[in-house]
């Protein structure tokens, strides 16, 4: 039987998602709602299968293996697992310099 995890969104991850949705909504409110639903749906799977995301390659190359990600193209949902809690840490646009963003945010 799969154990249940708690999923907690960091304030910065919620802010990331809000900015994404607000930006899309300026041109297409309907599309913004669909993107929001896709991202929330993808993260809802973390309650039972948090290991399903891959280790973030840019960080793995630096020897950092505690962060995982889910992809909802072009966004990357970065999270880590601690005991029975999954912490969603960032939702970033993969078209940006992801390595710099991650190292700046996650290693402070």
Predicted TM-score (pTM) of the model is: 0.87
The alpha carbon of 72 is separated from its chain's Cα centroid by a whole number of angstroms, namely 9
CATH dotted code for 6-106: 3.30.2310.20
User: How do the domains of the chain map onto residue ranges?
Assistant: 6-106
The DSSP secondary structure of 7-76, one letter per residue, reads EEE-HHHHHHHHHHHHHHHHH-HHHHHHHHHHHHHHHHGGGT-GGGSEE-HHHHTTT--SEEEEEETTEE
pLDDT for the residue 108: 60
Residue 72: CB atoms within 10 Å: 17
Mean pLDDT of residues grouped by 10 in the chain (108 residues)?
85 96 96 96 93 91 91 95 95 82 69
Where residue 63 falls (left for φ over 0; alpha for ψ -120 to 50; beta otherwise) is left
Q: Mean pLDDT of all residues in the chain?
A: 90
pLDDT for the residue 2: 61
């Amino acid at each position: 039987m799969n154990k249940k995890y708690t999923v907690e969104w960091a304030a910065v991850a919620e802010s990331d998602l809000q900015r994404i949705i607000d930006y899309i909504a300026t041109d297409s409110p309907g599309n913004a709602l669909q993107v929001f639903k896709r991202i929330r749906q993808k993260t809802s799977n973390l309650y039972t299968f948090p290991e399903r995301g891959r280790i973030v390659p840019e960080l793995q190359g630096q020897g950092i293996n505690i962060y995982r990600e889910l992809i909802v193209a072009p966004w990357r949902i970065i999270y880590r697992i601690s005991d029975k809690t999954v912490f969603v840490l960032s939702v970033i646009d993969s078209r940006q310099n992801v390595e710099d963003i991650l190292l700046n945010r996650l290693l402070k």
